Amino acid sequence: MDTEIELKLLVDPNDLLALSNWMQQRPQVIKNYQRQLGNIYFDTPDRRLRQLDCGLRVRTVDDRSEQTLKTAGKVIGGLHARPEYNIPIDGRRPDLFLFERDIWPDDLELNNLQDALISQFTTNFTRQTWLLSYSDDAIVEVVLDHGEICSGDRCVPICEMEMELVKGPPSLLFKLARKVCKKFDVRPGQASKAARGYSLLDGAPDPTAEQLPLLSLTSSHTVEQALIELSSAALRHLQLNQDVFFANRSIQALQEVRHGLLWMLQIRHYFNEVVDEASLNLLANAKIWLVKLQWVADALYREQIIEQKDQYMKRLEDKKKVRKVLKDNDETTNSNLASALLTSRDYSQWLLQLSEWLSCQQWRLEGQPQPELDESVTKLAQRVLDHSKNYVAERFPAEQSLNSADCAKGCERLERALLSGNCFRRLFDPDAESAYRGPWQDMLHGCQELALLDYLQRTAKGIELKDGDAFERWIMRKRQSWLELVDQSKQVALAMEPYWR
């Protein structure tokens, strides 16, 4: 058994030749070759291997076949670490009994699994390989794959670079990846070829934005373990949703990218009292990208108004005129700028730095004890949730009535507070059954609706409406209704007993 530690970078096809030539010129190269690889991936019709988070393939190279089983591992940014088992075979059908029995769950009926195996999809690609030798006998294998994944008559392209650590520290992979990133348009990749193949097998449905996860920390988690769990989840959330955006230009996916960036800023705040502040500065860089995505909220409001026109313009005599203005104000330019941002070399470098920071635990101070990292995360979580509640209460005082502008400005505070709940809620409420979050979510919904009304009003200001006064009266009525809901929810939320105390 080998543990495969590799860094995956997605490559712009236009850079393929230049990247290949650049690799060929690396002074550390001691061996290079090119092969054509054909792979067949197997599973049962009910995908039992997939449920075990395993991937099974048969690879054929020069008439020689090898079966490979990859079992559950972890992915941090673009760094993939998975146990891998390789055995030469005759033919192109795998034999599960050739693997050691102890790699399988004890209750797994191997006979039934073997008999049920069928081909699922194939990958066929040209692989260029370079073996690089460094000091201290460190060795890195770099491959550049270009081809396609196919299931039936459906195919998707492969164009990626993988750097595998043969021997030496993982920092070597990141050092080389940063050099690549400075010269070429690459970005860290999350999805394996197998994961993309299964997606294709399912008909390659249009990917949708992934909502913020509800994490499952327990009192047995240390502060350091929580830091790793939260940061890994935030990085994964960022990358998965930016992949969705690249697939279909979804504004909702960009909103989730924005949430991932907010999460990075929150993590820096959560741990700044127990981890050296300088080691958390990398997380603060999320602010740079967050500022550049400020337009996303208005773009979502625009989409919502267009899709739910009867809800927002039912009594507007000039609704066709307003809809036309909304449609004309499309977000193509902003979307293109977001695409350029998320493929920029600075942004890709930042993602790589985050992956390295996590993988190499760069918050650790060499030669210095840090006992606070080994404490239970419970007290830290209580401080965070206390602060989140107080942070919202500063913007929404119990005794003060708010106007629409105050509520619109409070959206981000509420998002941050609810995000803190996503991180630590199950630590105190394992089944996530507490009703505590409900009023806070109602407040956020009300504030977002008020911000949407402000956006609609700004849009309509430049239009000559047949009955502008009636429109303004409708806006005022809707605004008052939502302000009352926010105030009611606020009173309930601030009066509730915290579930973490």
Residues 45 and 96 in one domain: yes
Residues 140 and 168 in one domain: yes
pLDDT for position 376: 96
Q: Over range 270-286, report the average pLDDT.
A: 92
Handedness of CA 109, 114, 120, 123 (dihedral sign): positive
Q: Where is the domain boundary, 201, 236, 262?
A: 201
CATH number at residue 130: 2.40.320.10
Identify the band that residue 321 occupies on the pLDDT scale cut at 50, 70 and 90: confident
Residues 25 and 138 in one domain: yes
Residues 290 and 160 in one domain: no
Q: Over range 172-183, report the average pLDDT.
A: 92
Q: Which residues contact 411 (CB under 8 A, 6 or more apart)?
A: 297, 444, 447, 448, 451
> Containing H/E element for 421?
helix 411-428
Whole-angstrom distance, CA of residue 388 vs CA of residue 392: 6
48 to each of 116, 364, 368, how far by Cα in Å? 10, 40, 46
Whole-angstrom distance, CA of residue 201 vs CA of residue 190: 18
The verdict on residue 501 lying in a domain is no
Closest Cα to residue 418, out of 281, 238, 250, 213?
213
| Report for 184-193, 213-222, 472-481: range of highest mean pLDDT | 213-222
Backbone angles phi, psi at 277, to 5 degrees: -60, -40
Q: Would you say residue 73 has pLDDT above 80?
A: no
**Which phi-psi region, left, alpha or beta, contains residue 136 (left: φ > 0; alpha: ψ -120 to 50)?**
left
Backbone angles phi, psi at 86, to 5 degrees: -125, 130
Residues 143 and 124 in one domain: yes
pLDDT for position 205: 66
The verdict on residue 21 lying in a domain is yes
Is the separation of the CB atoms in 388 and 420 below 8 Å?
A: yes
319 compared with 343, residue with greater pLDDT: 343
The verdict on residue 210 lying in a domain is no
Q: Over range 142-168, report the average pLDDT.
A: 93
Q: Over range 420-447, report the average pLDDT.
A: 91
473 compared with 221, residue with greater pLDDT: 221
The verdict on residue 306 lying in a domain is no
The verdict on residue 287 lying in a domain is yes
Is the separation of the CB atoms in 148 and 158 below 8 Å?
A: yes
Rounded to a whole number of angstroms, the CA Rg of the chain reads 26
pLDDT for position 178: 92
Identify the band that residue 74 occupies on the pLDDT scale cut at 50, 70 and 90: low
The verdict on residue 371 lying in a domain is yes
Q: Which residues contact 160 (CB under 8 A, 6 or more apart)?
A: 8, 9, 10, 11, 144, 145, 189
Closest Cα to residue 72, out of 20, 140, 3?
3
pLDDT in tens, 322-351: 778 888 777 788 889 999 999 999 999 999
Is the separation of the CB atoms in 175 and 132 below 8 Å?
A: no
Q: Would you say residue 252 has pLDDT above 70?
A: yes
Q: Over range 350-363, report the average pLDDT.
A: 90
% of residues, the chain, pLDDT over 70:
96
Residues 155 and 241 in one domain: no
Residues 242 and 325 in one domain: no
- Give alpha helix (H) positions in 125-192: 171-183
pLDDT for position 206: 72
Residues 477 and 412 in one domain: yes
Q: Would you say residue 1 has pLDDT above 60?
A: no
Q: Would you say residue 485 has pLDDT above 80?
A: yes
Q: Over range 367-382, report the average pLDDT.
A: 93
Q: Over range 258-279, report the average pLDDT.
A: 93
Backbone angles phi, psi at 14, to 5 degrees: -70, -20
The verdict on residue 336 lying in a domain is yes
Return the biggest CA–CA distance within the chain: 81
pLDDT for position 467: 76
The verdict on residue 341 lying in a domain is yes
pLDDT for position 106: 87
CA angle centred on 338, ends 255 and 415, rounded to 5°: 20
Q: Would you say residue 82 has pLDDT above 80?
A: no
Q: Which residues contact 109 (CB under 8 A, 6 or more apart)?
A: none
Q: Where is the domain boundary, 142, 170, 201?
A: 201
Q: Which residues contact 142 (CB under 8 A, 6 or more apart)?
A: 23, 129, 130, 132, 161, 162, 163, 164, 176
Residues 449 and 319 in one domain: yes
Residues 286 and 368 in one domain: yes
Q: Where is the domain boundary, 176, 201, 226?
A: 201
% of residues, the chain, pLDDT over 90:
61
Residues 325 and 335 in one domain: no
Show the tokens assigned to 356.
Answer: 């390295």
Q: Domain total for the chain?
A: 3
Write out 18-74 in H/E/C secondary structure.
HHHHHHHCCCCEEEEEEEEEEEEEEECCCCHHHHCCCEEEEEEECCEEEEEEECCCE
Identify the band that residue 204 occupies on the pLDDT scale cut at 50, 70 and 90: low
pLDDT for position 315: 64
Identify the band that residue 78 occupies on the pLDDT scale cut at 50, 70 and 90: low
Backbone angles phi, psi at 468, to 5 degrees: -60, -35
Mean pLDDT across the chain: 89
6 to each of 40, 81, 387, 440, 442, how far by Cα in Å? 21, 7, 39, 42, 44
237 compared with 319, residue with greater pLDDT: 237
Q: Would you say residue 3 has pLDDT above 60?
A: no
Can you give the residue range of the structural domain that contains 237? 216-295+331-376
Across 20-24, 44-48, 194-198, 486-490, least confident range: 194-198
Show the tokens assigned to 161.
Answer: 């670079």
pLDDT for position 368: 86
Residues 228 and 243 in one domain: yes
